């Protein structure tokens, strides 16, 4: 059963890499402004679920509906456009472009949608201020600390005002103090813009920032809140 | 730890560092190996050409150089060199005059009458369906093949055929028979002294070809450097200091380059086996000829690993390897230009004082030439990083692809410049050489004067009776593909019947034929003209003079027919005949020489061919050879090129092609390596919707910007080097922009090719799989 008013819904997802199944009938849903943590041990299929939900990889079978549109049947160009305009991403190691300055990194998603450089960088600075890294604007990623870099990455994920932010182990490379600060800023910023957050993590401490938890094991998902409700 | 043990540890890491370590070592080894193979090949070229020349010399059978061996019986030789489908075929007819007659190298004996020994290449042509036309020309029975000792290269087409007709021909026709008599081969004095300008060119070609190879090797020992630096950071974590990590890195490079030496030797040995199959503009040598000088090979074996260690230590000066796997570029200092201009200035200082020496037939100090040229070209490698940094620092604006490329270049302009250095040096050197070639081309490539619109072939017929000439002319006219002929007869005239003091030429032909050699105001059969303005003026013949056609000389008996120049003979202006020769003497229509019409005469037939019939020239040669096996029939060409100049040019083309391919391969390896290192980042960029085209453009700009700057610098340095070299040989400095543009275009083409070849890899790396960590 899928709750009504969901922004992103996945049903009966199957995905295998060669002979190894990564998803085996996984289900998922997220509402606007909701933070959902996808948890599970290494190799359970949680990152694959995130990649399918974000339209980065297409599932072998099953359906993904985003805002009433069938994501899994969209051509690659359309899914790419969706990722540029409606989704934001945070990865474990930031994945900032090392040669661009921090402000250019944050402005990059806007520039990819055709926004002029100055305007994009103005918006980027605004988000960097919110993430408390405005003073790093002209530094390169190699010149800032891991926690600072990850906050820059969070600013980059929010700069296009996405409706869904996908965060794959966003604190995996940070110490607990930095990790908590990043999570605090990410969830606050997302809630303030009513963006949904799909948060992949294996840390309960990080999952605590979510509204709901989905556990993935052997490619199957279990919605913990729904189980409690039932 | 001592430096030696650091080096040893690095070597151990390189060889036992797991898959990644092996990949990196193998990459360096393959790069160095390719460079070493090219170095060995280049150092072997002079030896190979000299062995080729020695074989050429050993079979020399004409001219003053052919040795005289008193104990040997004479061997009669008729030269029957020919062409088939534009390719040269060396041919000789042989007739021994005794059992001790010398045997040409590569033959076990002299073939009997109408038998033939052929080179393997000619044999396969004759055996193939495509050789049918040639079999008509060489109707001899093949009884064996010429061994390697008698051939210039495995692709040379050559034959020796036995003929019993040479001796009678020599008896009846004497010196004009085309038959020579030798008692030995080997030309003792044939070693021509190479002229200083050509020597200079050869020296410069070697420098220009070897410099980019050296630059390439320097780049190859740094393949995979970024990954290695990250690995070395782990060593810092367990207590290694910066100096130790640098020497360990040098040890890794040493292992790669040492393995590269072995691979280089293997590549060289493999490539050598295929040398025989390669023929560039007809130049072809045996695999056994490619034998590097042991001293030069030893120098390569010592210099390459030493350079690998030096380059690595130098490269790591600007990198601070910190513990915790973090590699930060040390505070980037602005590159200084002052010391970078010193090498080119020193180069100019060495070269300029030699200006004009070539004109005075002086020789150039080779050490000075090599040092000056090397320093000027080193100037390219020194100035390019500064230029790239200075220019990209000022770049901005543009789309995302441009921004990604420019920012990348700003961060790692040194890497970009290093990749382009090889192409820049090669192009600078090639531009300088092209300038020299263009300037001195006139000395070595001459207009032959032949007018290929009027005739495409010339068939000289020796001294033969008019009836035989008529038959041969008829045969030529009837040959398929021949659209017209013009035949002129020639005889010698003297003022006395025997041993005349002065002689002149008489050209006999109809009015149409004579118009091919002079401007005739009017002409009818029976007219006689006195041609003026020919190439050899001789003594002017007055009208009314009594002369003797074909006078006798002490060594030759002529018919000495008396003939009087008609009083009404008109003076006319000579014009070049179709072969470009402008003749003097008497031009006579047949009606004016009826009394001598039956005397033997030399004839030349100029043949016009159907341009659409590609086999017409070969059919004409068949017809001419059937009439006279010793025919000297040939195709007319508007230009004549000195063989030695052509050889030097061929050498440049071979070398430049190999060097550019090598550098292209190096660029490709580095570009792919950079892309592979950025696999995760590329996948992340795709995740948030970056288009393929945006990243493709960024790769193109990232390569194109430094290449454009490199080519601009290379053009400047190349023009400067070319100008200095031209001053050295006393020539006016003229820039022929076409070859300059061509060289720059080739350099740019290599970049486009590399970008195109790296795109599939880029697209593959842009798949989302890169985001997977498990």
Nearest CB partner across the interface for A112, out of B400, B681, B773: B400
User: Does the pLDDT of residue B769 top 70, yes or no?
Assistant: no
Q: Quick one: average pLDDT of A219-225?
A: 78
Q: Which helix (H) or strand (E) holds A70?
A: strand A69-70
Residues of chain A contacting residue B690, judged by C-beta atoms under 8 Å apart:
80, 84, 112
What does the pLDDT look like over A186-203, one tens digit per residue?
999 889 999 999 999 988
Q: Is B690–A112 a contact, with Cβ atoms under 8 angstroms apart?
A: yes
Nearest CB partner across the interface for A51, out of B328, B399, B768: B768
Sequence length of chain A is: 230
Measured CA to CA in angstroms, residue B418 lies from B74, B314, B415, B425 at distances of 65, 13, 5, 11
Q: Is A112–B768 a contact, with Cβ atoms under 8 angstroms apart?
A: no
Residues of chain B contacting residue A109, judged by C-beta atoms under 8 Å apart:
688-689
Measured CA to CA in angstroms, residue B104 lies from B101, B123, B188, B507, B519 at distances of 10, 18, 16, 40, 49
Q: Is A108–B400 a contact, with Cβ atoms under 8 angstroms apart?
A: yes
B275: tokens are 């040398």
Residues of chain B contacting residue A81, judged by C-beta atoms under 8 Å apart:
689
Q: How confident is the model at residue B647 (pLDDT cuts 50, 70, 90)?
A: low
Q: Quick one: average pLDDT of B676-687?
A: 81
Residues of chain B contacting residue A57, judged by C-beta atoms under 8 Å apart:
768
Residues of chain A contacting residue B685, judged by C-beta atoms under 8 Å apart:
97
Pairing state of beta strands B87-96 and B158-162? Answer: parallel
Residues of chain A contacting residue B771, judged by C-beta atoms under 8 Å apart:
47, 51, 56, 91, 168
A43: tokens are 């190799």
Instruction: State the count of interchain CB pairs (< 8 A) between A and B.
Output: 83
User: Does the pLDDT of residue A35 top 90, yes or no?
Assistant: yes
User: Does the pLDDT of residue B555 top 80, yes or no?
Assistant: no
Helix axes B679-687, B643-677, angle to 10 degrees: 60
B545: tokens are 């003079």
User: Does the pLDDT of residue B328 top 60, yes or no?
Assistant: no
Do A48 and A23 contact (CB within 8 A), yes or no? yes
Q: Is A47–B772 a contact, with Cβ atoms under 8 angstroms apart?
A: yes
Nearest CB partner across the interface for B411, out of A42, A84, A98: A98
B231: tokens are 């690995």
Q: How far apart are CA B305 and CA B259, in angstroms?
A: 10
Residues 6 or more apart whose CB falls under 8 angstroms from that of B723 comprise B435, B733
Q: What is the mean pLDDT of chain B?
A: 81
pLDDT the model gives residue A32: 93
Q: List the 190-219 stretch of A: residues with Cβ below 8 A of B.
A: none
Nearest CB partner across the interface for B768, out of A56, A100, A156: A56
Pairing state of beta strands A35-39 and A212-217? Answer: parallel
Q: How far apart are CA B203 and CA B423, in angstroms?
A: 20
What does the pLDDT look like over A95-121, one tens digit per residue?
888 888 999 999 988 988 889 989 999
Q: Is A111–B400 a contact, with Cβ atoms under 8 angstroms apart?
A: yes
In this structure, of B417-426, B485-494, B565-574, the range with the lowest mean pLDDT score is B417-426
Q: Quick one: average pLDDT of B41-54?
A: 80
Q: Looking at the complex, does the CB of residue A95 fall below 8 Å from at least one CB of chain B?
A: yes
**CA B226 to chain CA centroid, nearest Å:** 40
Do B450 and B578 contact (CB within 8 A), yes or no? yes
Q: How far apart are CA A194 and CA A207, in angstroms?
A: 19
Q: How far apart are CA B54 and CA B520, in angstroms?
A: 52
pLDDT the model gives residue B141: 94
Residues of chain A contacting residue B412, judged by C-beta atoms under 8 Å apart:
99
Q: Closest by alpha carbon to B323, among B405, B395, B425, B241? A: B241
Pairing state of beta strands A61-66 and B82-84? Answer: unpaired
User: Does the pLDDT of residue B308 top 50, yes or no?
Assistant: yes
DSSP letter for each residue of B279-316:
-BTTB---GGG----HHHHHHHHHHHHHHHHHHHHHHG
Q: Quick one: average pLDDT of B409-426?
A: 80
Per the model's pLDDT, the better-predicted residue between A222 and B512 turns out to be B512
Residues of chain B contacting residue A140, judged by C-beta atoms under 8 Å apart:
411
Strands (E), B477-626: 482-494, 503-508, 518-519, 528-532, 546-549, 561-564, 570-574, 585-588, 601-609
**CA A219 to chain CA centroid, nearest Å:** 19
Burial class (CB in 10 A: 0-12, 13-18, 19+), A3: middle
Calculate how close chain A gets to B743, using CA atoms only, in Å.
Answer: 32
* Residue of chain A with shortest Cα separation from B396: A117
- Distance in Å from the first CA to the final CA of chain A: 11
**Dihedral, B108, B109, B112, B116 alpha carbons, nearest 10:** 40
Q: Is A80–B689 a contact, with Cβ atoms under 8 angstroms apart?
A: yes
pLDDT the model gives residue A198: 95
Per the model's pLDDT, the better-predicted residue between B184 and B343 turns out to be B343
What does the pLDDT look like over B696-723, one tens digit per residue?
888 888 888 888 898 899 899 889 888 9
Q: Is A81–B689 a contact, with Cβ atoms under 8 angstroms apart?
A: yes
Do A183 and A191 contact (CB within 8 A), yes or no? no
User: Does the pLDDT of residue B773 top 60, yes or no?
Assistant: no
DSSP letter for each residue of B695-764:
HHHHHHHHHHHHHHHHHHHHHHHHHHHHHHHHHHTT------HHHHHHHHHHHHHHHHHHHHHHHHHHHH
Q: How far apart are CA B95 and CA B76, in angstroms?
A: 5
pTM of the shown model: 0.65
Q: Quick one: average pLDDT of B574-599?
A: 83
Q: Looking at the complex, does the CB of residue B332 fall below 8 Å from at least one CB of chain A?
A: no
Q: Looking at the complex, does the CB of residue A168 fall below 8 Å from at least one CB of chain B?
A: yes
Q: How far apart are CA B57 and CA B185, in angstroms?
A: 8
Q: Is A99–B694 a contact, with Cβ atoms under 8 angstroms apart?
A: no
**CA B453 to chain CA centroid, nearest Å:** 29
Calculate how close chain B gets to A78, using CA atoms only, in Å.
Answer: 10
Q: List the 127-146 stretch of A: residues with Cβ below 8 A of B.
A: 140, 142-143
Residues of chain B contacting residue A91, judged by C-beta atoms under 8 Å apart:
684, 687, 771
Residues of chain A contacting residue B411, judged by C-beta atoms under 8 Å apart:
98-99, 140
Q: Looking at the complex, does the CB of residue B338 fall below 8 Å from at least one CB of chain A?
A: no
Q: Which helix (H) or strand (E) holds B635?
A: strand B634-635
Q: How far apart are CA B51 and CA B658, in angstroms?
A: 22
Q: How far apart are CA B543 and CA B567, in angstroms?
A: 5
B270: tokens are 């493999």
Q: How far apart are CA B254 and CA B677, in angstroms?
A: 23
Q: Looking at the complex, does the CB of residue A97 fall below 8 Å from at least one CB of chain B?
A: yes
Nearest CB partner across the interface for A42, out of B684, B694, B774: B774
Q: Is A99–B408 a contact, with Cβ atoms under 8 angstroms apart?
A: yes
Residue B516: φ, ψ to 5°: -75, -15
Q: Closest by alpha carbon to B196, among B356, B388, B389, B428? A: B356
Q: Which residue's structure tokens are 């290093």?
A: B418
Q: How confident is the model at residue B69 (pLDDT cuts 50, 70, 90)?
A: low
**CA B103 to chain CA centroid, nearest Å:** 32
Q: List the 16-45 stretch of A: residues with Cβ below 8 A of B.
A: 17, 42-43
Q: Measured on CA atoms in the order B46, B48, B54, B59, is the torsion positive or negative?
A: negative
Nearest CB partner across the interface for B328, out of A43, A99, A142: A142
DSSP letter for each residue of B377-426:
HHHHHHHHHHHHHHHHHT---S-HHHHHHHHHHHHSHHHHHHHHHHHHHH
A8-17 sheet: strands from edge to edge: A20-30, A8-17, A61-66, A69-70
pLDDT the model gives residue B451: 83
Calculate how close chain A gets to B718, using CA atoms only, in Å.
Answer: 33
Q: How far apart are CA B621 and CA B610, in angstroms?
A: 15
pLDDT the model gives residue B359: 52
Q: What angle do CA B300, B303, B306 make, to 5 degrees?
A: 145
SS3 A230: coil
Q: How far apart are CA A98 and CA B762, in angstroms?
A: 18
Q: How far apart are CA B431 and CA B774, in angstroms?
A: 53
pLDDT the model gives residue B326: 45
Do B94 and B76 contact (CB within 8 A), yes or no? yes
b/e sequence B245-269, b meaning 16+ C-beta within 10 Å: bbbbbbbbbbbbbbbbbebbbebbe
Among B320, B328, B681, B689, the residue to mutate for chain A (most A Cβ within 10 A): B689
Q: What is the mean pLDDT of chain A?
A: 88
Residues of chain B contacting residue A51, judged by C-beta atoms under 8 Å apart:
768, 771
Q: Quick one: average pLDDT of B651-673?
A: 73
pLDDT the model gives residue A1: 53
Measured CA to CA in angstroms, residue A54 lies from A9, A43, A58, A69 at distances of 11, 19, 9, 13
What does the pLDDT look like over B197-216, one tens digit per residue?
766 777 777 777 777 777 77
pLDDT the model gives residue B497: 84
What does the pLDDT look like over A38-72, one tens digit per residue?
998 888 888 889 989 998 888 999 999 999 899 88
Q: Is B694–A112 a contact, with Cβ atoms under 8 angstroms apart?
A: yes
Q: Is B404–A82 a contact, with Cβ atoms under 8 angstroms apart?
A: no
Q: Is A97–B407 a contact, with Cβ atoms under 8 angstroms apart?
A: yes
Strands (E), B424-583: 445-447, 457-464, 482-494, 503-508, 518-519, 528-532, 546-549, 561-564, 570-574
What does the pLDDT look like over B162-182, one tens digit per residue?
999 888 888 877 777 788 888
Do B431 and B580 contact (CB within 8 A), yes or no? no
Q: Closest by alpha carbon to B92, among B76, B106, B70? A: B76
Q: Closest by alpha carbon to B587, among B683, B490, B485, B664? A: B490
* Residue of chain A with shortest Cα separation from B679: A95
Sequence length of chain B is: 774
Q: What letter does residue B68 receive in the DSSP assignment?
A: -
SS3 B507: strand
């Amino acid at each position: 059963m899928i709750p009504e008013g969901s922004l992103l819904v996945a049903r009966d997802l199957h995905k295998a890499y060669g002979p190894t199944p990564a998803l085996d009938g996984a289900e998922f849903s997220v509402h606007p402004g909701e933070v959902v943590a996808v948890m599970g041990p290494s190799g359970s299929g949680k990152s694959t679920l995130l990649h399918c939900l974000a339209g980065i990889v297409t599932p072998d079978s099953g359906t993904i509906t985003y805002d009433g549109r069938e994501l899994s049947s969209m051509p690659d160009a359309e899914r790419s456009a969706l990722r540029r305009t409606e989704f934001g991403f945070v990865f474990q190691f930031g994945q900032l472009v090392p040669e661009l300055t921090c402000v250019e990194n944050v402005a990059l998603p806007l520039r990819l949608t055709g926004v002029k450089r100055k305007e994009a960088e103005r918006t980027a600075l605004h988000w960097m201020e919110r993430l408390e890294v405005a003073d790093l604007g002209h530094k390169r990623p190699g010149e800032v600390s891991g926690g600072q870099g990850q906050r820059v990455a969070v600013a980059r994920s929010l700069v296009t005002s996405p409706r869904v932010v996908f965060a794959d182990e966003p604190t995996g490379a940070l110490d607990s103090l930095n990790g908590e600060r990043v999570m605090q800023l990410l969830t606050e910023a997302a809630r303030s813009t009513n963006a949904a957050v799909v948060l992949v993590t294996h840390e309960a401490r990080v999952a605590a920032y979510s509204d709901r938890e989905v556990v993935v094991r052997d490619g199957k998902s279990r919605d913990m809140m729904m189980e409690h409700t039932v | 730890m001592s430096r030696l043990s650091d080096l040893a540890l690095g070597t151990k890491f390189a060889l036992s560092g797991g898959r990644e370590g092996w990949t990196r070592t193998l990459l360096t080894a393959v790069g160095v190996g390719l460079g070493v193979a090219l170095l060995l090949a280049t150092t072997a070229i002079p030896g190979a050409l000299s062995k080729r020349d020695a074989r050429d010399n050993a079979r020399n059978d004409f001219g003053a150089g052919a040795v005289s061996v008193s104990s040997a019986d004479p061997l009669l030789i008729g030269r029957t060199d020919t062409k088939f489908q534009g390719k040269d075929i060396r041919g000789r007819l042989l007739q021994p005059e005794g059992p001790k007659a010398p045997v040409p190298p590569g033959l076990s004996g002299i073939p009997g009458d109408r038998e033939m020994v052929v080179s393997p290449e000619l044999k396969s042509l004759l055996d193939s369906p495509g050789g049918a036309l040639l079999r008509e020309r060489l109707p001899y029975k093949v009884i064996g093949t010429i061994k390697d000792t008698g051939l210039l290269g495995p692709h040379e087409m050559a034959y020796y055929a036995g003929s019993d007709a040479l001796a009678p021909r020599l008896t009846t026709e004497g010196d004009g028979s085309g038959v020579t008599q030798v008692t030995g081969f080997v030309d003792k004095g044939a070693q021509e002294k190479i002229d200083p300008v050509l020597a200079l060119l050869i020296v410069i070609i070697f420098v220009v070809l070897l410099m980019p190879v050296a630059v390439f090797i320097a780049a190859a020992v740094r393949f995979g450097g970024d990954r290695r630096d990250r690995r070395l950071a782990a060593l810092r974590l367990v207590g290694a200091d910066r100096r130790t990590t640098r020497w360990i890195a040098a040890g890794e490079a040493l292992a790669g380059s040492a393995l590269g030496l072995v691979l280089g030797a293997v590549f060289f040995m493999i490539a050598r086996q295929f040398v025989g199959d390669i023929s560039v503009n007809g130049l072809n040598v045996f695999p056994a000829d490619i034998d590097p000088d042991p001293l030069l090979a030893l120098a390569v074996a010592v210099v390459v690993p030493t350079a690998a260690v030096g380059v690595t230590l130098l490269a790591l000066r600007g990198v601070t390897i910190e513990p915790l796997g973090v590699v930060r570029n040390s505070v980037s200092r602005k590159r200084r230009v002052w010391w970078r201009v010193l090498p080119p200035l020193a180069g100019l200082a060495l070269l300029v004082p030699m200006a004009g020496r070539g004109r005075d037939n002086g020789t150039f100090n080779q050490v000075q030439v090599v040092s000056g040229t090397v320093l000027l070209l080193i100037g390219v490698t020194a100035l390019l990083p500064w230029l790239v940094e200075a220019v990209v620092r000022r770049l901005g604006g543009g789309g995302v692809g441009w921004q990604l490329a420019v920012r990348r270049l700003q961060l790692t302009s040194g890497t970009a410049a290093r990749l382009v250095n090889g192409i820049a040096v090669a192009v600078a050197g090639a531009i300088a050489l092209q300038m020299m070639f263009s300037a001195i081309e006139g000395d070595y490539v001459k207009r032959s004067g032949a007018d290929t619109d009027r005739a495409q072939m010339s068939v000289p017929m020796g001294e033969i009776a008019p009836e035989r000439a008529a038959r041969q002319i008829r045969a030529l006219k009837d040959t398929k593909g021949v659209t017209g002929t013009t035949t002129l007869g020639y005889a010698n005239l003297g003022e006395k019947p025997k041993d005349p003091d002065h002689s002149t030429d008489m050209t006999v032909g109809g009015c149409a034929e004579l118009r091919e050699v002079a401007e005739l105001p009017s002409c009818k059969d029976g007219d006689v003209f006195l041609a003026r303005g020919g190439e050899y003026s001789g003594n002017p013949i007055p009208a009314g003079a009594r002369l003797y056609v074909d006078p006798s000389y002490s060594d030759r008996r002529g018919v000495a027919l008396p003939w009087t120049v008609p009083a009404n003979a008109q003076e006319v202006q000579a014009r070049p005949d179709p072969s470009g020769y402008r003749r003097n003497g008497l031009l006579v229509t047949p009606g004016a020489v009826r009394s001598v019409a039956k005397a033997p005469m030399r004839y030349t037939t100029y043949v016009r061919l159907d341009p659409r019939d590609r086999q017409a020239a070969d059919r004409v040669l068949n017809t001419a050879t059937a009439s006279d096996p010793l025919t000297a029939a040939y195709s007319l060409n508007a230009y004549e090129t000195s063989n030695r100049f052509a050889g030097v040019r061929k050498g440049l083309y071979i070398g430049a092609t190999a060097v550019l391919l090598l550098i292209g391969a190096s660029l490709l390896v580095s570009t792919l390596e950079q892309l592979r290192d950025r696999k995760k980042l590329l996948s992340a960029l795709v995740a948030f919707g970056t288009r393929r085209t945006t990243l493709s453009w960024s790769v193109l700009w990232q390569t194109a910007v430094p290449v454009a700057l490199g080519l601009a610098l290379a053009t400047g340095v190349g023009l400067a080097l070319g100008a200095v070299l031209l001053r050295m040989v006393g020539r006016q400095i003229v820039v022929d922009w076409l070859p300059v543009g061509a060289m720059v275009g080739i350099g740019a083409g290599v970049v486009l090719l590399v970008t195109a070849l790296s795109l599939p890899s880029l697209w593959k790396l842009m798949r989302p799989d890169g985001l997977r960590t498990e």
